Structure 1
Amino acid sequence: MRSPKTWVCGLLPLLVLYIPSINAMNDSNDVRDVAEFSRRLAIFSINVYGKLSLLKSNENVVFSPFSIQTCAAMARIGAEGQTAEELDRGLGLVSSNVTEIAESYNRVLSIYEKSNILRIANKIYVMQDYALNDEYNALLAQKFLSSAENIDFGQSEKAANAINGWVEERTNNLIKNLIPPSALNGLTRLVLVNAIHFKGTWVHKFPKHATHSELFYLNDDESVNVPMMNLKDRFRYADLPDLDATALEMPYADSDLSMLVILPKSKTGLQQLEKKLQSVPLSQVTDKLYSTQVIVKFPKFKAEFQVELTNVFKELGMSRMFSSKAEFGKMLQSPESLQVSAVIHKAFIDVNEEGTEAAAATGVVVRKKRSAPMPPVDFYANRPFIYAITHREAQQGLPIFLGSVSRLSEVTLQTPSSSEHDEL
């Protein structure tokens, strides 16, 4: 009996994406298809967020559902039988046909392909002396726009350095050490990697001199001083009584992407909001947004997040891929018994007066077996909140990143002289 074989799948999307207008598409069928893709990705996003918020209850969560789903979809192309069926359901894919699955991702990836702001790259590392199945290789190369490269996973440190170097280069050095050398060995057969990087500036920039140390309430009893950005301008805003929250959309320049922030009205309302969002699509939030003058207070923050997603996948009904019964017989020319042994995800976000820069990464290790009222409304994000980076013109809101801010570190800024202040 041959020894178990291993493959690794790593994916790296950036937190903010430039997406040209879907309305620019010529084919109305493409519009409908991307809208359906967005709807399904939004559901997957909330499902994963629900699991992560429980798993990492004391951390600021930030992840890219697009990254995770894309990476797993690349693996799905090579799956068969019950493994494929579980991935179709758990990921919320548009079809059970591999060609249609690949085409759905190609429609989205093609939107970004010529962007100067957003960079997306896919790559497949294959064990030396092994070759990809022709159909599998063609679908990933033509539809996921990936390239393949042979590498000796037996030299685990050298192989990890090569993979991680590729990831770092394509994420502006924001994601480092995605794949640990210990995840690779002589039994590793494949590593699938997707990398995304974006750096977006706000349409309405926050003036730096208006950033002050203000309180951020962790709960009813605890608070910390944080750098709080301040601005008054016209934004899309909504009061959401059913969620006991308000929402604000902050658009990025030269793109159809925005940050959607959902703010509980209570200092301790984040957990209840998270539960309600399990059954409320983000599209129901964005449908209620209207343009109005808003006084915004929003914290500057950076967040890093790392998680192993095996248990999350299992809880979402995708467990067979991790067992000796996994069916990934369509990946290699000489089929071997492969199974997933780990799913690694890393993400980073930096939000400041100018805009947002972010990146994320996912790794899957497999072995052989989402008219203005007056006066201005207040939107003070001085307590835990949820945010999403979404495509504004997608009917369901294409969620690229999703996260929450529940804890911030104490930071005190020097207060500028009064002559430097501009009235909000």
Structure 2
Amino acid sequence: MALIKRKLFNRMANMMLLILVLLQAPLPFAQDQSSIFSKRLAKFSINVYTKLVAQNSNQNIIFSPFSIQTCAAMARMGAKGKTAAQLDRGLKLISNNEAQIAESFHKVLAAYEKSSILHIANKIYIKAGYQLRDKFSSIIFKKFLSAVEPIDFSEDVRAAEKINSWVALRTNNLIKDIVDSSKLTASTRLLLINAIHFKGNWVHQFPERDTGNEPFYGNTDKSIDVPMMNLKKRFRYATLDNLNATALELRYKDSDLSMLIVLPNSKTGLAQLERKLRITPLSQITEKLDWRDVIVKLPKFKSEFEVELKHTFKQLGMSDMFSNDADFSRMITTSERLKVSKIIHKAVIEVNEKGTEAAAATASIIVGFSLPSLPREPKRFYADHPFNYYIINKQSIMLFAGKLINP
């Protein structure tokens, strides 16, 4: 039992999955390209998060904006006309130029291609006997680093097992059964997947001996006792008067990644904070971070979240892709009309004393017709009530985003 507990304490995981299923029915860049990509992704994230909160107001949420955007951007590479224009706007892509869009994702994917703690994988399953158009295939392979594999979707159970095994392998078994066999039919032509897995240790780990049960105040006046981690170290910290909140950055070893936590000052202030965050760029928060001695209390937690994003995409102005007006004629060599039937996203995050492990996947199904300062009094950052958090890199590219209401 002690061994099992120790393994649990030593494990910190965050995982997400996004699936896009489709059924039958280089140019010059600005010098600040990474910054533009980051800001556009942040806008997309806020838009998606706002919709998800409206639908799941009293629920923990964890999702990967980057996973969702990447998977949908792969579909965008095969779109034309109004369908392409809606995706450009709705996904907040950096351009309406395919080469520039593809290169913006390639820079992020290539930067972590050999990373030991962050693994991002893309894959396209195509119905056996069908072929991708050369241009689409080239962009997907060279820029999105995606493999392509033929599969018999009519053998729905076997196909689902194969797809789910690939996702589980890429996400360290954190995400399983992302695709239900009932979602695959004889009319399924393509399935686009992005899977992302992150496992990192804190630069400053929380001593396990200092973890003990303490109260956490959820959405009600009542508290529940949860395992609370404790640590006093030097962190980047900010007082955010305009948000009536504070922010803390927890860095991961051997990477440019960190967890950013934004904590409302009031125990019941999460809803108000979320409204303000809609119009507050993440860069405005990270720019205010300063090195301070901080006494940190942070609950150990694990969250899982799964959502079908078709309704959310439609709310964000991307509706043609699901209708008979969809134009994905740049994808496959046949003249069949294609449309997206579902966009499935699944995420898991687990946080403990040692670090964080995270994974995500997105699938889309397409059918015929995602500097230290002088010593000062230590700050207190007591995350004993609901808060927002993000896993970002040094360019503030948002890999994961979530809120914790109930550890």
TM-score, normalised relative to structure 2: 0.91
Is 1:213 the equivalent of 2:219? no
Partner of 2:391: 389
Q: How far off its partner does 1:365 sit?
A: 2.1
Partner amino acid, structure 1, of 2:62: V
1:41-88 CA distance string (max 9 Å, x none): 111111111111111112110000000000000000000110000000
Could you tell me which residue of structure 2 aligns to residue 405 of structure 1?
A: 404
Tell me, yes or no, if the aligned pair for 1:170 and 1:196 is still in contact at 8 Å: yes
2:195 is matched with which residue?
Answer: 195
1:177 paired residue number: 177
Report the equivalent of 1:228.
228
Match of 1:376 among 375, 378, 381: 378
Please report how far the alpha carbon of residue 157 of structure 1 lies from its aligned counterpart in structure 2 after TM superposition.
Answer: 0.6
Kept after mapping to 1: 8 A contact 2:190/2:367 = no
- Pairs within 5 Å for 1:23-34: 32-34=32-34
Mapping of residues 234-383 of structure 1, within 5 Å = 234-369=234-369, 371-372=373-374, 374-383=376-385
Tell me if structure 2 keeps the 8 A contact 1:261–1:385: yes
Taking the aligned partners of 1:133 and 1:280, their CA distance within structure 2 comes to 41
Q: Which runs of 5+ in 1 are unaligned?
A: 1-12, 17-27, 409-424
Instruction: Name the amino acid aligned to 1:92.
Output: K
Output one character per residue of 1:156-182: Cα deviation in whole Å (capped at 9) or x when no partner: 110000000000011110000011101
C-alpha deviation, 1:267, in angstroms:
1.1
Give the 5 Å matches for 1:9-20: none
- How far did 1:104 drift? 1.1
CA distance in 1, matches of 2:54, 2:340: 23
Alpha carbons of structure 1 residues 228 and 31: separation in structure 2 relative to 1, 3 Å: farther
Structure 1 position 31, deviation (Å): 5.8
User: Could you give the per-residue CA deviations for residues 381-420 of structure 1, whole angstroms, max 9, x where no partner exists?
Assistant: 000000000112x1xx111100000113xxxxxxxxxxxx
1:39 equivalent in structure 2: 39
Note if contact 1:249-1:260 (Cα within 8 Å) is conserved in structure 2: yes
Q: Are 1:166 and 2:170 matched, yes or no?
A: no
User: Which residue does the alignment assign to 2:24?
Assistant: none
- Aligned-partner SS, 1:375: coil
Residue 281 of structure 1 deviates from its aligned partner by: 0.5
Question: Hey, what's the Cα distance between the residues in 1 that align with 2:279 and 2:15?
Answer: 24
Structure 2: runs of 5+ lacking an equivalent: 1-12, 17-27
Aligned-residue CA RMSD (Å): 1.6
Say whether the 8 Å CA contact 1:15–1:389 is kept in structure 2.
no
Contact 2:14 2:350 in 1 (8 A): no
> SS where residue 347 of structure 1 aligns?
strand
Change (3 A) 1:220 1:333: closer
Q: Matches of 1:131 and 1:364 in 2, distance apart?
A: 18
Q: CA deviation at 1:298?
A: 0.1
Structure-2 separation of matches of 1:139 and 1:37: 18
> For 1:107-126, what aligned pairs fall within 5 Å after superposition?
107-126=107-126
CA distance in 1, matches of 2:41, 2:127: 31
Decide whether the 8 Å contact of 1:390 with 1:400 is kept in 2. Answer: yes
* Count of aligned residue pairs for this structure pair: 381
Equivalent position SS for 1:107: helix
Residue 89 (1) aligns with residue 94 (2): no
Matching residue of 1:52: 52
Q: CA deviation at 1:15?
A: 5.0
- Quote the offset at 1:366 in angstroms: 2.3
Instruction: Provide the residue aligned with 1:79 in structure 2.
Output: 79
Equivalent position SS for 1:175: coil
Write the distance in 1 (CA, Å) between the matches of 2:237 and 2:151.
50
What is the distance in 2 between the residues matched to 1:177 and 1:328? 27
Partner of 1:101: 101
Shift in Å, 1:288: 0.8
CA distance in 1, matches of 2:242, 2:207: 33
Partner of 1:25: none
Shift of 1:97: 1.5
CA distance in 2, matches of 1:336, 1:190: 12
Q: Which moved more, 1:360-369 or 1:283-292?
A: 360-369
CA distance in 1, matches of 2:67, 2:147: 17
> Cα deviations across residues 351-385 of structure 1 (Å, max 9, x unaligned)?
0000001111212222222x256210100000000
Contact 1:350 1:357 (8 Å CA) reproduced? yes
Native 8 Å contact 1:14 1:195 kept in 2: no
Distance 1:226 1:313 in 2: 36
TM superposition shift of 1:216: 0.2
Aligned residue number for residue 147 of structure 1: 147
Q: Is the 8 A contact 2:15 2:360 kept in 1?
A: yes
- Contact 1:15/1:400 (8 A) holds in 2: no
3-state SS, counterpart of residue 361 of structure 2:
strand
Q: Indicate the percent of aligned positions where both proteins have the same amino acid.
A: 56
Q: Quick one: structure 1 residues 14 and 70, their matched pair in 2 at CA, closer, same or farther if it must change by over 3 Å?
A: farther
Shift of 1:30: 7.7
Task: Measure, in 2, the Cα distance between the counterparts of 1:36 and 1:336.
Answer: 36
When structure 1 is superposed on structure 2, of 302-311 and 113-122 the one drifting more is 113-122
Deviation at 1:336, TM superposition (A): 1.3
Cα distance in 2 for partners of 1:319, 1:275 equals: 26
Paired letter, 1:379: F
Indicate if the aligned counterparts of 1:290 and 1:372 stay in contact, CA closer than 8 A.
no
Q: Is the 8 A contact 1:30 1:107 kept in 2?
A: no
1:303 deviation in Å? 0.7
Q: Distance in 2 between matches of 1:227 and 1:274?
A: 25
Distance in 2 between residues matched to 1:325 and 1:232, nearest whole Å: 57
Counterpart code for 2:142: Q
Q: Distance in 1 between matches of 2:294 and 2:31?
A: 32
Q: Distance in 2 between matches of 1:169 and 1:30?
A: 37
Change beyond 3 A, Cα 1:358–1:30: farther
